[in-house]
A and B are shown apart, each in its own frame.
Chain A
Amino acid sequence: MELNFAPSDGEKLLRFKARSKRLKLAIASEKAKDTPNNDTIESLSKELDEKLLFLRNFLED
Chain B
Amino acid sequence: MPAVQFNLFDQFRLNNFNGGGVDFILPVTGALNMAVMSALYVPDQNTDTDWTAISANEVTGTGYTLGGNPCDNGTATVDAGGVVTVDAADPDTWAQDPAGFSNGRSCVLYEVGSGQLIGYSNDFGADQGNLNGDFFIAFGVAGIMVSQR
Contacts and interface: CB of A to CB of B under 8 A. Distances in A.
Partners in one complex: yes
B55 interface: no
Nearest to A5: B137
Nearest to B120: A3
Interface residues of A, number: 26
Contact of B119 (A1, A6, A7, A43): A1
Interface string B115-137: 00001010010001000000111
B23 to A, nearest CB: 12
Residue of B26, B79, B138 with most chain A CB atoms under a 10 A cut-off: B138
B3 interface: yes
Given A3-B3, A3-B4, A8-B1, A25 B90 contact: no
B25 A2 contact: no
Contacts of A43: 28-29, 72-73
Given A3-B121, A4-B2, A8-B1, A15 B7 contact: no
Contacts of B3: 2-4, 7, 11
Name the interface size band of chain B: 35 or more
Contacts of B73: 23, 26, 43-44, 47
A2 B26 contact: no
B28 A22 contact: no
Nearest to A50: B89
Interface of A: 1-8, 10-12, 14-15, 18-19, 22-23, 25-26, 29, 37, 39-40, 43-44, 47
What 10 A-B pairs are tightest by C-beta distance, nearest first? A2-B140, A3-B6, A26-B75, A25-B77, A1-B6, A43-B28, A8-B1, A18-B141, A3-B121, A4-B138
Given A3-B6, A11-B138, A40-B25, 17 more contacts: A1-B6, A1-B119, A1-B146, A3-B3, A3-B137, A3-B138, A5-B124, A10-B1, A14-B141, A23-B73, A23-B75, A39-B28, A40-B26, A40-B28, A43-B28, A44-B28, A47-B89
